[in-house]
Structures are given as structure tokens and as C-alpha cells.
């Protein structure tokens, strides 16, 4: 592979953009255009990552490695496999749409908002690209700062409670992970993920490390029962913040499980897989019911996110059980692929739904479901998009929501039909809350004068929703482009899982 | 190095060149200042900065030189001393730069301010280079006596006077403790030389002076705890921080803490390194108490200076953790932590001084309400400082914490590391509250702030805060420097 600085470019271009917006964007309109230019440029630069990834080549590509801290043997090491590539492209895509979507929604302190958004983008790409644990941790924590500012400044009435809870809650989890990383560093003498994965660890060490990682990642995903920060953060965040939170930030947790927990602590992961699977199933069933009764649109989608992200953890840990207990590598690949497709799909679907809610909120300034009704009559295009995304949310075949869930359920079935049975319950409960929501807000007679006065979608909003819809349908109709991209990485993970460390 | 033979060696003067230069320059400034009118104080200001620059230049020359003893081992020049002195001189220079307009507005910009600070700096330099108990004490007293007077500089303020009296009484008590401990060490070993104490300290159970040494150690640790402000010897700290003019608070929280770390290193590692199993236990108790007291009580503060005082206590707790395995790497991490903390403290108090106008002290946390709307740049600088104090990557403060945690885990004290991070999470709350007030709360007054047009101050402050970002990326050289300085100095030769 020739030396490539593509990943560095993708990290630093938006961060430079953030500084440029702060410095030159005194006028709100200048700030918006500047942010758009940087977001678009970053998205354009991320496409070669996807087209240039060689699925027959080595797993980690676009590798960069510079010494960073000599005394700790920590490096500025970047690299991307298919999983990272997919998530990075999703990140740049979602940020571009958020910049467009926030155009008219944010009127106060625009430069700061756009700078936080772009800074967030660079940091998130860094999380998915880092192959050095210390670098990963730095990016992992750094993303709290822009989101803290975003929720706190542009959020709803309880924003301060929500943003402090968000920050302290997630910091609480990740700092335990820091201890685990330092421990592994002392054990191996370096910080590279590859060295961590090869470190010989006793089963007791693995158990401690495993739970330290769980503390960090489970809160990020978030898994039941540590999901309680998410509804608050989502409800209070501005629309753009909600999109980034749901579409990208939650994925960091799932990504962390696959990148850290499985390779570094495979035996402990297997031993405690039942805990993770049980928590995932509880999330699917219980949180699904919680979503059903929410009177607040954003809360409903937030809880539905928790339920859908449970498929990611379910797929990840069922794969482990499959490959170790039954030697079923094909089933394990299916589980991990399913988890990954579910992450990408949920990125599109939840991002789109929060974008829709942002559009509704901008017109009505309420998030209560009871204030809406019959929007389909006044905003036909919007109604159509909403129905599509709701269908994807409940896993209709042909949309992206179906693919990931189906793969995870298939994999679970090979391990334990009962697990598949419980997981498949989401198809019912998901359809329940999604379709009932559609009925209440899109269909029926126009509820009140305010709804009747809602303006149809403008061009900008239409583009954002259409782009999300394209993603949902593309993954739903032809998921092969995604699974082919990730196949080498998934194969490598599964082959690593097969080898016990103890 | 025969202690009974007092020989004068002119080469010793070269070893002491930075100190001698600073002393000469300070005396010259003292004389020049006598002939200046109050309106010409800027001359003193420039001369004081030049004196510090000259000292820094001399220090820089020998930064990498191997360890040298002067005056029969009374004075040590080595890597640690050089490193700490450079940062002490830097923080003093920052105090001068930041204080000019603040002190002038309060009519406190008098010659004594400069002279006392320069003498305190000389005391600190002596303290971190001390090779004998006498030098430790002389350096310490030069520092603390100057500090008492500085705290009381604002004679008309009852708050300042109260703080100064409190500082003086408790400081004298601490000095007494230290002296008492020193006398026991002298009694047990018959020498004042730190390296010889280390060599002569006989720790076998049957040794006649085992108990005496242990008692001496306890008193030394108490004295060090007082000077650093570690709980439960922290009582003076919030009142002094609160009562002193902010410039002086800035000085006490940065330079003087660096010197205290140097003193702890000289006394504990230099003189009693063989007893490190005893003192590490004591220090870990102090560390946990400081973390708990500092972080928990800081939450209840509404005054930013008091909040930062408790935050200092918690940072001292973290710093002491670096000492607990008694290795070069551990003390290097502690020194690294203290340098980082000094930079953060100067930035935090610097922003407070910038915002303070005559008759209005930006001291209450509520004074910072809506700062982002009134002055986004300095709100940003304060936010960087707060996130760094909280230890959020990619800022400098995180990496300092990382190095200390690594030392603690390496020493096998996993539980201590967990206690430390739990208190770090609690501490997060009050730092975030400052950011919250600046960014999320509406300002009481929408008008843009009228800041002093003191460009050197504003530039230095911005650079100071931005250094926390830059050092977050490029902290490797400083860490290497700390490690090299300590590796060359530990263990001390007999």
C-alpha cells in the first residue's frame, strides 16, 4: 500500500473547518456557507476511502503511523478496515446533512454551533480510525465536549440537567475503561490495539478488563439498564445534536465492543456473553414497551433507538457463543455482519426520524404527539418520507431496518431458538410503536389550526430527507455492497474469536 | 565532601550563578525603585521581567548538566532543580505580566510587590536545590515570609489581613513542625546533609534510632502536607486564596506549589528514600483525604476563588499519588503533574484578573454568567482551562492524570487508582458548572466587556490557555524532560 494520509485529512479537515468558522464566521450566513463547504469537502474526501478500500487486500488499510509519545510507546496510528470505512462514510454523510438541515433551525450563535458540529465530525472520524488505544481514548472522550456545548446552548428547557447528566454519565463509564487501557499498557508496554489483542491474559484479568470495557461502551450504546441518559439528552438536544447522537455517537459503543472487548478479552466475553445477551433481550422487549407509551415524539424515537441498538450487542455476543460453543463460524459471521448492518441502518433511520422531528418542531414548537394529526394532508411529501422511515424503523423488508435485524435473528436462531423468538418480538412491538405513531401524526383529519398552517417541505429539507431515504433504501435493497465491504474485517474478527487466550 | 571541613571553592559560585544573578538584580531593583515616582512603576515592571529573563537564560544553559554539589553539599544543581526552577521563573513572570493592570487599578502596584515576589522566587530556587536541612529551611522561610507579606499587601482590606494572619499562624506552625522533624533527623543521624542522612539512616529493627527517625519522618510529612495544602492540613488554603489579591493567589497556587513539590522530593526521596515504605503509606492517606475533601467541598462553593482553592487541594491529592511508589518514574509523573497544574492555575486566575475591573472582582461564579456572549474569546480560554482541570482529553490536564494513574497502577495500587477516578468524576461537576454558567446562562448585562487594554497580559494569557491545547498534543518532550531529570537524580549518591 502506498502511504496515504486520507484518514488524517478526514480528521483534521473538519477541525480546521471548525476553527475557520469561529474565526471568519462572524456573520451567521458566512458561518453556514463555510461550514457547508468544509462538511461537503470532508464528505467528498471520504468517498475515496470507500471506493479505494481493497476487499482482497490486507484488513487494515490507509495505515498511518507516527511516533507520538515516546515514553509510553503510544503512536499516532490510524487505519481503517471495512467496518471503520462504513462508519466513517456514515459520519461524514450525516454531518453534511446536519449542516444543511440546521440552516434555518439554528439562529442563535451560529458560528459556535457549526464549529461544534465540525469539531465533532473530526473527533468521530478519529474514533473510528484510531488503531492506538490512547489515541482512541482521546477521541472517545473529546467528543463529549462539543456535544455538551451543543445540548447546553441550543437545547430545550431542561437542557442543563440533560447535558450535565449526559457528560457525567458517559465520563463515568469511560474513565473505567481508561484504567483498563493503562493496565493493558503496563502489561504489553505499548498502546497498539494489535498488541492488546495478542496480550496473554488470565481469566480473572480478562473478567476485570471486560467489565471495565462494558462500563465504557454499554453506556455509550446505551444498553439497558444504563440507557437513562439517552432519552433526556435526546429530548433536550437540538435537532442536529439528536441526529449526530443517534446516528453516530451511539455507534461508537457498538464499535468499541467489536474493536476492544471481543479481541482483547475473548474468554471473558464468552463467559459473560449471557449477561450481555440477556440485557439486550430485555432492552428489545422492555424498552420496546416503554417506547410505546411515550407521549413525546423525541422520547419515543430515543427509546426505540435503545431497543434497536440492542440488536447490535445481541449480534456481537451471539456470534461469540456460536463460534466457541458450536464452532459455527458461518453463523458467527452472520451475527457480526448483522450487528454492523444494523448500526449503519440505524444511523440512517434514526438520523432521518430525528431530522423529521426537527422539521416538525421548527413549525409547531412542540414535541407532543397529541398536538399533531393529519400532517399528511398539509405536507404530503413529508408524510411519505415519514411513513418510509417508520416502516424502516419497524423492519419492513426492502428497507435497511430489515436486513440487520433479520441477520441477527438468523444468527440467534442457530444458537438458541428461544433467543431468536424473543428478539423477533421486536418486529411486533416495533411495528406497534412506529405504525401507531404514523397513525396519530400523519393520518387522520387535520388536528388543529396550527397543523393546518404548517408549511410544506422546502427544498433544503427535502434534500436532507431524500438523502436519508436513499441510504435506507440502498442498504435495504442491495445490502451486498455493505457486507462485501465489511467481510474481510468480520472474517478476521471471527477467526480471532475462535482462539481462546486461556 | 567532608562535612567538618568548610572550604571555599570559587567554582561553587558558578554553580549558583542563576541565584546570585537574581539576588543581585533584585537588590539593584530595590535601589532603583526607591528613586522612582509612582507613575514610573513600569520601569520596575520591565526590570523585574528582565531579571527573570536573565535568570531563566542562566538556568537554561545548565538545564542538561549533570548533578553538581556546591558549598560542601549544601546546594545541589541537577536536572530536577533546573526543570522546576525554569517553571518557577516562568510562573513568576506570568504573575508579573498578569498583575500589572489588576494591581494598578487597586492601587497596589507598589515596588514591594515586585521585590517580595522576586525574593520569594529566590527562596523557591534555593528550596528546590537544597542539599541540606539548613538550606531547605532558609529557602522555605524566604519564600513563606515573602508570601505572608504579599497576602497582606492590600492593607485596607480586612479580608486580606485576616487571610494573612491565618496564613502566618498556620505557616509558622508548619515551619515549627518541620523544624521539629529536622531536629529529630539530626539527632538520629548527626548530620544535616540530606544525602548523608539517607546513607546513615539505620532502619534495622534493633537500631537505636529507628523510632526517632520514624517520628522525624512524621513531622516532616506534616510540614510538607501544610506547605502543599494536602488534607487534613488544608485549612489555611481556601481563606488565603479568597482573601489575598488575585495576583497573589495566582502566585501561591502556581510557583509556590512547584517549589513545595521540589521540597517534598528533596526531603522524602533525598533524605529519607530508604524509608519510602513508611512515607508512601502516609502520603496515600493524605492523597485520598485530599481528593475527597477537595472535590466534595468544592461543589458547595459559590465563590470561584474558593472553588479553585478546593480544586487545588484535590489536585494535590492526585499529585501525592505520584509519590507513592517512590520511583524515578513516579516522581517524574508528580513533577509533570505539578507543572501542568501550575499552567492551568495561572490560566484560570489570569482570566479572573482580566475580567476584574476596579471595584468589581470577578470572583463569584455568577459573575461569569453569559460570558460567552460578552466576550467569546476569553470564555473559550476559560472553558479550555476548566476542561483541562477536569482532565478531559485532548487537553493537557488529562495526560498529567494519565501519567499519575499509570504510576499508581504500576505500583499495584489498583484501588487507589479507582478512588482517584471516582473523585475525578465528582470533580467534573464543578468544573462543568463554570462552563455551564459561561455558555448556557444568559448574561446579567449584554454589553461587551471593557477589558484592560494591556496587550502583553492578554497575549500571555491567551498563549497560556492555548498551551493547554498544544501540550495536549505535544506533551511528549516535557514528559521526556521530567523523566530524564529524575532518572539522573534517583537514587541519590551517599
For chain A, report the end-to-end CA distance as a whole number of angstroms.
35
Q: Is B168 on the interface with A (CB under 8 A)?
A: no
Alpha-carbon span A13 to A5, nearest angstrom: 12
C-alpha cell at A7: 484518514
Q: Are A151 and A241 in contact (CB under 8 A)?
A: yes
Q: Are B75 and B16 in contact (CB under 8 A)?
A: yes
Name the most confidently modeled range: A494-498, B261-265, B476-480: B261-265
> Distance of CA A60 to CAs A15, A84, A451, B481, Å?
24, 9, 51, 35
Alpha-carbon span A193 to A127, nearest angstrom: 13
Backbone angles phi, psi at B444, to 5 degrees: -70, -25
Nearest to A187 by CA among A173, A174, A176, A202: A202
C-alpha cell at A320: 461469540
Q: Quick one: pLDDT at residue B494?
A: 32
C-alpha distance from A151 to closest chain B C-alpha (Å): 9
Residues in chain A: 502
A3 CB-near residues (< 8 Å, 6+ apart): A64
**E strand or H helix that includes residue A67:** strand A61-69
Listed by start position, the domains of chain A span 272-502
Q: What is the residue-wise DSSP string for A1-56?
A: -----HHHHHHHHHHHHHHHHHHH--SHHHHHHHHHHHHHHHHHHHHHHHHH--TT
For chain B, report the end-to-end CA distance as a whole number of angstroms.
10
C-alpha distance from B390 to closest chain A C-alpha (Å): 11
Q: Are A484 and A55 in contact (CB under 8 A)?
A: yes
- Where does the pLDDT of residue A75 fall: very low under 50, low under 70, confident under 90, or very high at 90 and above? confident
Task: Give the alpha-carbon dihedral of B3, B6, B10, B11, to 10 degrees.
Answer: 0
Q: Are B266 and B331 in contact (CB under 8 A)?
A: no
Q: What is the residue-wise DSSP string for B436-464?
A: HHHHTSPPS--SPP-----HHHHHHHHHH
Q: Quick one: pLDDT at residue B182?
A: 93
Question: How many Cβ atoms sit within 10 Å of the Cβ of residue B19?
Answer: 21
* Residue from A182, A183, A238 to probe the interface with B (highest B Cβ count within 10 Å): A182
For B344, the 3-state DSSP assignment is helix
pLDDT score of B489 more than 70: no
Q: Are A105 and A12 in contact (CB under 8 A)?
A: no
Q: Which residues partner with A85 through β-bridges? A: none
Alpha-carbon span A378 to A357, nearest angstrom: 16
Mean pLDDT computed over A54-80: 84
Q: The whole model's pTM is what?
A: 0.89
Q: What is the residue-wise DSSP string for B275-305?
A: GHHHHHHHHHHHHHHHHHHHHHHHHT--BHH
C-alpha distance from A168 to closest chain B C-alpha (Å): 7
Backbone angles phi, psi at A446, to 5 degrees: -60, 125
pLDDT tens by residue, B54-91: 999 998 887 777 888 888 888 888 888 889 999 999 99
Q: Quick one: pLDDT at residue A109?
A: 84
Q: Are A411 and A334 in contact (CB under 8 A)?
A: yes
Alpha-carbon span B103 to B113, nearest angstrom: 9
Residue of chain B with shortest Cα separation from A161? B436
Mean pLDDT computed over A106-125: 89
For A159, the 3-state DSSP assignment is helix
Least confident of A291-305, B58-72, B209-223: B58-72
Closest CB to A179: pick one of B409, B429, B475: B409
Residue of chain A with shortest Cα separation from B481? A71
A274 CB-near residues (< 8 Å, 6+ apart): none
Q: What is the residue-wise DSSP string for A250-269?
A: HHHHHHHIIIIIHHHSHHHH
Mean pLDDT computed over B113-141: 93
Mean pLDDT computed over B246-270: 91
For B129, the 3-state DSSP assignment is coil
Q: Is B470 on the interface with A (CB under 8 A)?
A: no
Q: Are B305 and B350 in contact (CB under 8 A)?
A: no
Closest CB to A71: pick one of B387, B428, B476: B476
Nearest to A22 by CA among A118, A137, A111, A102: A111
Q: Are B3 and B196 in contact (CB under 8 A)?
A: yes
Alpha-carbon span B26 to B4, nearest angstrom: 33
Mean pLDDT computed over A350-356: 91
Residue of chain B with shortest Cα separation from A135? B394
A-B CB pairs within 8 A amount to 82
Contacts of B402 in chain A (CB under 8 A): 134, 178, 182
Q: Percent of chain B, pLDDT > 90?
A: 42
> Distance of CA A473 to CAs A346, A476, A477, Å?
12, 5, 6
Amino acid at each position: 500500500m502506498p502511504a496515504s494520509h486520507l484518514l488524517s485529512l478526514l480528521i483534521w479537515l473538519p477541525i480546521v473547518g471548525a476553527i475557520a468558522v469561529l474565526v471568519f464566521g462572524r456573520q451567521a450566513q458566512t458561518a453556514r456557507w463555510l461550514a457547508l463547504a468544509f462538511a461537503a469537502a470532508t464528505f467528498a474526501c471520504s468517498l475515496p476511502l470507500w471506493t479505494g478500500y481493497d476487499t482482497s487486500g490486507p484488513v487494515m488499510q490507509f495505515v498511518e503511523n507516527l511516533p507520538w509519545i515516546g515514553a509510553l510507546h503510544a503512536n499516532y496510528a490510524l487505519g481503517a478496515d471495512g467496518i471503520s470505512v462504513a462508519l466513517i462514510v456514515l459520519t461524514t454523510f450525516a454531518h453534511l446533512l446536519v449542516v444543511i438541515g440546521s440552516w434555518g433551525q439554528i439562529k442563535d450563535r451560529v458560528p459556535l454551533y457549526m464549529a461544534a458540529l465540525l469539531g465533532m465530525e473530526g473527533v468521530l472520524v478519529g474514533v473510528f480510525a484510531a488503531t492506538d488505544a490512547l489515541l482512541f481514548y482521546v477521541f472517545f472522550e473529546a467528543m463529549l465536549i462539543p456535544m455538551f456545548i451543543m445540548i447546553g446552548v441550543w437545547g430545550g428547557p431542561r437542557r442543563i440537567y440533560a447535558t450535565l447528566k449526559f457528560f457525567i454519565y458517559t465520563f463515568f463509564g469511560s474513565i473505567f475503561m481508561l484504567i483498563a487501557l493503562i493496565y493493558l499498557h503496563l502489561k504489553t508496554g505499548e498502546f497498539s490495539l494489535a498488541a492488546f489483542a495478542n496480550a496473554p491474559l488470565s481469566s480473572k484479568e480478562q473478567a476485570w478488563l471486560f467489565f471495565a470495557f462494558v462500563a465504557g461502551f454499554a453506556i455509550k450504546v446505551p444498553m439497558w439498564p444504563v440507557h437513562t441518559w439517552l432519552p433526556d439528552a435526546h429530548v433536550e438536544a437540538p435537532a442536529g445534536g439528536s441526529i449526530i447522537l443517534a446516528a453516530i455517537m451511539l455507534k461508537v459503543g457498538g464499535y468499541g465492543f467489536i474493536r476492544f472487548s471481543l479481541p482483547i478479552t475473548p474468554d471473558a466475553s464468552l463467559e459473560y456473553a449471557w449477561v450481555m445477551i440477556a440485557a439486550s433481550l430485555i432492552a428489545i422487549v422492555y424498552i420496546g414497551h416503554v417506547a410505546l407509551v411515550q407521549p413525546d415524539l423525541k422520547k419515543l424515537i430515543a427509546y426505540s433507538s435503545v431497543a434497536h441498538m440492542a440488536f447490535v450487542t445481541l449480534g456481537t455476543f451471539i456470534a461469540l457463543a456460536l463460534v466457541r460453543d458450536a464452532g459455527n463460524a458461518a453463523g458467527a459471521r452472520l451475527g457480526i455482519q448483522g450487528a454492523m448492518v444494523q448500526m449503519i441502518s440505524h444511523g440512517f433511520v434514526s438520523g432521518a426520524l430525528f431530522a423529521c422531528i426537527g422539521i416538525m418542531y421548527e413549525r409547531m414548537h412542540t414535541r407532543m404527539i397529541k398536538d399533531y394529526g393529519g400532517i399528511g394532508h398539509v405536507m404530503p411529501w413529508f408524510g411519505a418520507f415519514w411513513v418510509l422511515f417508520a416502516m424502516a424503523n419497524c423492519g419492513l423488508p426492502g428497507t435497511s431496518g430489515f436486513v440487520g435485524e433479520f441477520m441477527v435473528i438468523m444468527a440467534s436462531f442457530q444458537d438458541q431458538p428461544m433467543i431468536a423468538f424473543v428478539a423477533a418480538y421486536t418486529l411486533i412491538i416495533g411495528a406497534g410503536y412506529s405504525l401507531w405513531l404514523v397513525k396519530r401524526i400523519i393520518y387522520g383529519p387535520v388536528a388543529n389550526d396550527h397543523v393546518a398552517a404548517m408549511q410544506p417541505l422546502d427544498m433544503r429539507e427535502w434534500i436532507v430527507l431524500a438523502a436519508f431515504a436513499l441510504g435506507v433504501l440502498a442498504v435495504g435493497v442491495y445490502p451486498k455492497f455493505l457486507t462485501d465491504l465489511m467481510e474481510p474485517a468480520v472474517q478476521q474478527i471471527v477467526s480471532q474469536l475462535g482462539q481462546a487466550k486461556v | 565532601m567532608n562535612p567538618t571541613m568548610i572550604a571555599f571553592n570559587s567554582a561553587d559560585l558558578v554553580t549558583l550563578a542563576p541565584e546570585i544573578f537574581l539576588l543581585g538584580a533584585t537588590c539593584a531593583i530595590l535601589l532603583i525603585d526607591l528613586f522612582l515616582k509612582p507613575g514610573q512603576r513600569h520601569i520596575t515592571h520591565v526590570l523585574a521581567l528582565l531579571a527573570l529573563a536573565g535568570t531563566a537564560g542562566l538556568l537554561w544553559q545548565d538545564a542538561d548538566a549533570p548533578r553538581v554539589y556546591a558549598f560542601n553539599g549544601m546546594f545541589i544543581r541537577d536536572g530536577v532543580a533546573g526543570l522546576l526552577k525554569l517553571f518557577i521563573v516562568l510562573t513568576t513572570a506570568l504573575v508579573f505580566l498578569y498583575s500589572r493592570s489588576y494591581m494598578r487599578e487597586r492601587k497596589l502596584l507598589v515596588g514591594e510587590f515586585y521585590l517580595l515576589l522576586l525574593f520569594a522566587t529566590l527562596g523557591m530556587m534555593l528550596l528546590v536545590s537544597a542539599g541540606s536541612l539548613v538550606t531547605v529551611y532558609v529557602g522555605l522561610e524566604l519564600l513563606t515570609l515573602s508570601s505572608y507579606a504579599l497576602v497582606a499587601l492590600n492593607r485596607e482590606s480586612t479580608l486580606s489581613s485576616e487571610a494573612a494572619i491565618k496564613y502566618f499562624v498556620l505557616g509558622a506552625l508548619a515551619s515549627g513542625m518541620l523544624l521539629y522533624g529536622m531536629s529529630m533527623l539530626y539527632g538520629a543521624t548527626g548530620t544535616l546533609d540530606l544525602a548523608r542522612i539517607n546513607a546513615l539512616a539505620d532502619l534495622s529493627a534493633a537500631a537505636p534510632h529507628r523510632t526517632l527517625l520514624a517520628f522525624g519522618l512524621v513531622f516532616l510529612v506534616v510540614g510538607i502536607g501544610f506547605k502543599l495544602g494536602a488534607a487534613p492540613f488544608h485549612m489555611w488554603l481556601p481563606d488565603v486564596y479568597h482573601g489575598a489579591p488575585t495576583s497573589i493567589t495566582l502566585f501561591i497556587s502556581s510557583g509556590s506549589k512547584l517549589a513545595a513539590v521540589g521540597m517534598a522530593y528533596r526531603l522524602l526521596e533525598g533524605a529519607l528514600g530508604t524509608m519510602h515504605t513508611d512515607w508512601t503509606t502516609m502520603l496515600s492517606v493524605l492523597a485520598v483525604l485530599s481528593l475527597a475533601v477537595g472535590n466534595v467541598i468544592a461543589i458547595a462553593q459559590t465563590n470561584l476563588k474558593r472553588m479553585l482553592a478546593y480544586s487545588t487541594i484535590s489536585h494535590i491529592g492526585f499529585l501525592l499519588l505520584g509519590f507513592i511508589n517512590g520511583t524515578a518514574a513516579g516522581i517524574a509523573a508528580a513533577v509533570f503533574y505539578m507543572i501542568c497544574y501550575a499552567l492551568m492555575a495561572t490560566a484560570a486566575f489570569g482570566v479572573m484578573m482580566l475580567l476584574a475591573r476596579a471595584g468589581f472582582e470577578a470572583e463569584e461564579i455568577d459573575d461569569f454568567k453569559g460570558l460567552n456572549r460578552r466576550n467569546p474569546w476569553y470564555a473559550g480560554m476559560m472553558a479550555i482551562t476548566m476542561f483541562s482541570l477536569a482532565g478531559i482529553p485532548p487537553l493537557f490536564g488529562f495526560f498529567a492524570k494519565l501519567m499519575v494513574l499509570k504510576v499508581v497502577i504500576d505500583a499495584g495500587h489498583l484501588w487507589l487508582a479507582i478512588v482517584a477516578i471516582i473523585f475525578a468524576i465528582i470533580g467534573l461537576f464543578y468544573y462543568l458548572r463554570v462552563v455551564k454558567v459561561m455558555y448556557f446562562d444568559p448574561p446579567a448585562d449584554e454589553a461587551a466587556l471593557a477589558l484592560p487594554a494591556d496587550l502583553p497580559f492578554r497575549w500571555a494569557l491567551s498563549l497560556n490557555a492555548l498551551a493547554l491545547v498544544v501540550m495536549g498534543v505535544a506533551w511528549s518532550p516535557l514528559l521526556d524532560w521530567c523523566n530524564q531529570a529524575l532518572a539522573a537524580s534517583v537514587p541519590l549518591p551517599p
